[in-house]
Copies of this chain bind each other. A is one copy, B any other.
Amino acid sequence: MNFCSNCGRTVALLVPDGDNRLRHCCAHCGTIHYENPRLVVGTLPVWENKVLLCRRAIEPRYGFWTLPGGFMENGETVADGAIRETTEEAGARITLGPLYSMIDVMHVHQVHVFYRAELLDLDFAPGTESLEVQLFDEADIPWRDLAFRTVSLTLQRFFEDRTRGSYELYVDKVIPGAHLRPHDPAPADARP
Protein backbone atom coordinates (compact mmCIF):
# COMPACT_ATOMS: atom_id res chain seq x y z
CA MET A 1 0.00 0.00 0.00
CA ASN A 2 1.49 3.29 -1.14
CA PHE A 3 -1.44 5.69 -1.39
CA CYS A 4 -4.56 6.48 0.65
CA SER A 5 -7.58 4.90 -1.04
CA ASN A 6 -9.74 7.65 0.41
CA CYS A 7 -7.86 10.85 -0.58
CA GLY A 8 -5.02 9.65 -2.84
CA ARG A 9 -2.12 11.08 -0.79
CA THR A 10 0.92 9.05 0.26
CA VAL A 11 0.46 6.82 3.32
CA ALA A 12 3.04 6.09 6.01
CA LEU A 13 3.54 2.95 8.09
CA LEU A 14 2.99 4.12 11.69
CA VAL A 15 1.60 2.89 14.99
CA PRO A 16 -1.57 4.98 15.48
CA ASP A 17 -2.36 6.50 18.91
CA GLY A 18 -3.89 3.89 21.18
CA ASP A 19 -2.75 1.05 18.90
CA ASN A 20 0.26 -1.26 19.15
CA ARG A 21 0.71 -2.30 15.51
CA LEU A 22 2.04 -0.70 12.36
CA ARG A 23 -0.77 0.45 10.06
CA HIS A 24 -0.83 2.33 6.78
CA CYS A 25 -1.92 5.81 7.94
CA CYS A 26 -2.84 8.90 5.94
CA ALA A 27 -1.60 12.11 7.54
CA HIS A 28 -3.77 14.15 5.16
CA CYS A 29 -7.28 12.76 5.76
CA GLY A 30 -6.58 10.72 8.92
CA THR A 31 -7.72 7.38 7.51
CA ILE A 32 -6.11 4.30 9.06
CA HIS A 33 -6.04 1.40 6.60
CA TYR A 34 -6.45 -1.82 8.56
CA GLU A 35 -5.54 -5.11 6.89
CA ASN A 36 -7.01 -8.33 8.27
CA PRO A 37 -7.05 -12.01 7.37
CA ARG A 38 -9.48 -13.23 4.71
CA LEU A 39 -11.75 -16.24 4.90
CA VAL A 40 -11.49 -18.94 2.24
CA VAL A 41 -14.67 -21.01 2.35
CA GLY A 42 -15.48 -24.31 0.69
CA THR A 43 -17.04 -27.75 0.94
CA LEU A 44 -16.15 -31.41 1.05
CA PRO A 45 -18.90 -32.84 -1.21
CA VAL A 46 -19.60 -36.54 -0.86
CA TRP A 47 -21.40 -38.99 -3.13
CA GLU A 48 -21.71 -42.50 -1.66
CA ASN A 49 -18.09 -43.36 -0.75
CA LYS A 50 -16.54 -40.76 -3.00
CA VAL A 51 -15.35 -37.18 -2.58
CA LEU A 52 -15.59 -34.46 -5.23
CA LEU A 53 -12.38 -32.66 -6.21
CA CYS A 54 -11.69 -29.93 -8.77
CA ARG A 55 -8.49 -29.53 -10.79
CA ARG A 56 -7.51 -25.88 -10.75
CA ALA A 57 -7.55 -23.86 -13.97
CA ILE A 58 -6.04 -20.82 -12.24
CA GLU A 59 -2.96 -19.87 -10.26
CA PRO A 60 -1.84 -20.46 -7.63
CA ARG A 61 -1.43 -24.21 -8.04
CA TYR A 62 -2.74 -24.46 -11.61
CA GLY A 63 -3.37 -28.10 -12.50
CA PHE A 64 -3.50 -29.32 -8.89
CA TRP A 65 -6.56 -30.79 -7.20
CA THR A 66 -8.60 -29.03 -4.55
CA LEU A 67 -11.87 -29.12 -2.71
CA PRO A 68 -14.21 -26.46 -4.13
CA GLY A 69 -13.62 -23.20 -2.25
CA GLY A 70 -12.60 -19.57 -2.56
CA PHE A 71 -12.65 -16.16 -0.94
CA MET A 72 -15.77 -15.32 1.02
CA GLU A 73 -17.45 -12.21 -0.41
CA ASN A 74 -19.05 -9.27 1.36
CA GLY A 75 -22.82 -9.66 1.63
CA GLU A 76 -22.93 -13.43 2.09
CA THR A 77 -22.74 -15.84 5.02
CA VAL A 78 -19.87 -18.28 5.43
CA ALA A 79 -22.26 -21.10 4.51
CA ASP A 80 -23.62 -19.29 1.44
CA GLY A 81 -20.07 -18.55 0.30
CA ALA A 82 -19.17 -22.24 0.56
CA ILE A 83 -22.24 -23.22 -1.48
CA ARG A 84 -21.54 -20.49 -4.07
CA GLU A 85 -17.94 -21.64 -4.54
CA THR A 86 -19.11 -25.23 -4.95
CA THR A 87 -21.53 -24.14 -7.66
CA GLU A 88 -19.00 -21.90 -9.41
CA GLU A 89 -16.04 -24.28 -9.39
CA ALA A 90 -17.74 -27.66 -9.66
CA GLY A 91 -21.21 -26.87 -11.04
CA ALA A 92 -22.39 -29.09 -8.20
CA ARG A 93 -25.70 -29.08 -6.33
CA ILE A 94 -25.25 -29.92 -2.68
CA THR A 95 -26.96 -30.09 0.66
CA LEU A 96 -24.66 -28.31 3.06
CA GLY A 97 -23.71 -30.29 6.15
CA PRO A 98 -22.03 -29.10 9.35
CA LEU A 99 -18.99 -26.87 9.58
CA TYR A 100 -16.11 -29.34 9.46
CA SER A 101 -12.68 -27.70 9.45
CA MET A 102 -11.17 -24.32 10.27
CA ILE A 103 -7.46 -24.02 9.50
CA ASP A 104 -5.26 -20.95 9.95
CA VAL A 105 -2.85 -20.15 7.13
CA MET A 106 -1.05 -17.31 8.85
CA HIS A 107 1.70 -16.66 6.32
CA VAL A 108 -0.84 -15.68 3.67
CA HIS A 109 -3.26 -14.02 6.11
CA GLN A 110 -6.04 -16.53 5.47
CA VAL A 111 -8.37 -18.76 7.43
CA HIS A 112 -9.71 -21.76 5.49
CA VAL A 113 -13.12 -23.13 6.43
CA PHE A 114 -14.74 -26.26 4.96
CA TYR A 115 -18.22 -27.69 5.41
CA ARG A 116 -19.16 -31.29 4.84
CA ALA A 117 -21.74 -31.59 2.07
CA GLU A 118 -23.82 -34.17 0.21
CA LEU A 119 -23.93 -34.11 -3.57
CA LEU A 120 -27.56 -34.10 -4.75
CA ASP A 121 -26.86 -35.56 -8.19
CA LEU A 122 -24.04 -36.35 -10.61
CA ASP A 123 -24.65 -33.39 -12.91
CA PHE A 124 -21.48 -31.57 -11.94
CA ALA A 125 -19.18 -29.90 -14.44
CA PRO A 126 -16.06 -27.74 -14.27
CA GLY A 127 -16.63 -23.98 -13.95
CA THR A 128 -14.26 -21.43 -15.49
CA GLU A 129 -11.75 -21.85 -12.63
CA SER A 130 -11.56 -25.65 -12.96
CA LEU A 131 -10.01 -27.90 -15.61
CA GLU A 132 -11.97 -30.94 -14.49
CA VAL A 133 -14.16 -32.16 -11.66
CA GLN A 134 -14.09 -35.76 -10.53
CA LEU A 135 -15.25 -38.10 -7.76
CA PHE A 136 -12.49 -39.98 -5.93
CA ASP A 137 -12.49 -43.02 -3.67
CA GLU A 138 -10.20 -42.66 -0.66
CA ALA A 139 -7.69 -45.01 -2.30
CA ASP A 140 -7.50 -42.84 -5.41
CA ILE A 141 -7.09 -39.39 -3.84
CA PRO A 142 -4.15 -37.71 -5.64
CA TRP A 143 -2.39 -36.81 -2.37
CA ARG A 144 0.81 -35.57 -4.01
CA ASP A 145 -1.15 -33.46 -6.46
CA LEU A 146 -3.39 -31.64 -4.03
CA ALA A 147 -3.24 -27.86 -4.31
CA PHE A 148 -3.18 -26.82 -0.66
CA ARG A 149 -2.28 -28.34 2.72
CA THR A 150 -5.62 -27.19 4.15
CA VAL A 151 -7.25 -29.48 1.58
CA SER A 152 -5.01 -32.44 2.36
CA LEU A 153 -5.44 -31.97 6.12
CA THR A 154 -9.22 -31.73 5.80
CA LEU A 155 -9.38 -34.84 3.59
CA GLN A 156 -7.06 -36.83 5.88
CA ARG A 157 -9.17 -36.00 8.90
CA PHE A 158 -12.38 -36.72 6.99
CA PHE A 159 -11.28 -40.26 6.08
CA GLU A 160 -10.09 -40.88 9.66
CA ASP A 161 -13.42 -39.66 11.04
CA ARG A 162 -15.37 -41.69 8.50
CA THR A 163 -13.48 -44.85 9.43
CA ARG A 164 -14.17 -44.16 13.10
CA GLY A 165 -17.81 -43.36 12.30
CA SER A 166 -17.83 -40.01 14.08
CA TYR A 167 -17.16 -36.50 12.78
CA GLU A 168 -15.85 -33.66 14.90
CA LEU A 169 -15.02 -30.06 14.11
CA TYR A 170 -11.36 -30.03 13.10
CA VAL A 171 -9.28 -26.95 14.02
CA ASP A 172 -5.65 -26.74 12.94
CA LYS A 173 -3.03 -24.46 11.43
CA VAL A 174 -0.57 -24.68 8.58
CA ILE A 175 2.97 -23.48 9.27
CA PRO A 176 5.29 -22.79 6.34
CA GLY A 177 8.34 -25.05 6.29
CA ALA A 178 6.94 -27.30 9.00
CA HIS A 179 7.66 -30.97 8.56
CA LEU A 180 5.36 -32.32 5.88
CA ARG A 181 3.02 -35.11 6.92
CA PRO A 182 2.71 -38.26 4.81
CA HIS A 183 -0.30 -36.98 2.90
CA ASP A 184 0.83 -33.40 2.34
CA PRO A 185 0.96 -32.21 -1.24
CA ALA A 186 4.39 -32.03 -2.82
CA PRO A 187 6.24 -28.88 -1.79
CA ALA A 188 6.56 -26.13 -4.39
CA ASP A 189 10.10 -27.16 -5.43
CA ALA A 190 8.91 -30.70 -6.17
CA ARG A 191 6.02 -29.70 -8.41
CA PRO A 192 5.71 -31.60 -11.64
Contacts from A to B (Cβ < 8 Å):
1-8, 10-11, 18, 21, 24, 33-39, 71-79, 98-99, 102, 104, 106, 109, 111, 128, 169, 171, 173
Count chain B CB atoms within 10 A of each CB in A7, A37, A75 and give the residue with the most. Answer: A37
Bound form: Cα–Cα A128–B19 in Å: 10
By a CB distance below 8 angstroms, the chain B residues around A76 are 106
CB distance from A132 to the nearest CB of B (A): 18
Question: What residues of chain B lie closer than 8 Å to A8, measured between beta carbons?
Answer: 2-3, 8, 10
19 additional A-B pairs beyond A5-B11, A5-B33, A36-B39, beta carbons within 8 Å, are A1-B5, A3-B3, A3-B7, A4-B5, A18-B128, A35-B74, A36-B73, A37-B72, A37-B73, A39-B39, A74-B106, A75-B106, A76-B106, A78-B102, A78-B104, A79-B104, A79-B171, A98-B169, A169-B169
Select A36's contact among B1, B38, B128, beta carbons within 8 Å: B38
Known contacts A5-B1, A78-B104, A106-B77; A99 and B39 CB within 8 A of each other = no
CA distance A168 to B15 in the complex (A): 39
- Shortest distance between the CB of A144 and any CB in chain B (Å): 27
Chosen A-B contacts, 18 in total, with CB atoms closer than 8 Å, are A2-B8, A3-B5, A3-B7, A8-B10, A35-B74, A37-B73, A39-B39, A39-B111, A72-B111, A74-B106, A74-B109, A75-B109, A77-B104, A77-B106, A78-B111, A79-B104, A98-B169, A99-B102
Which B-chain residue is minimally distant from A76 (CB atoms)?
A: B106
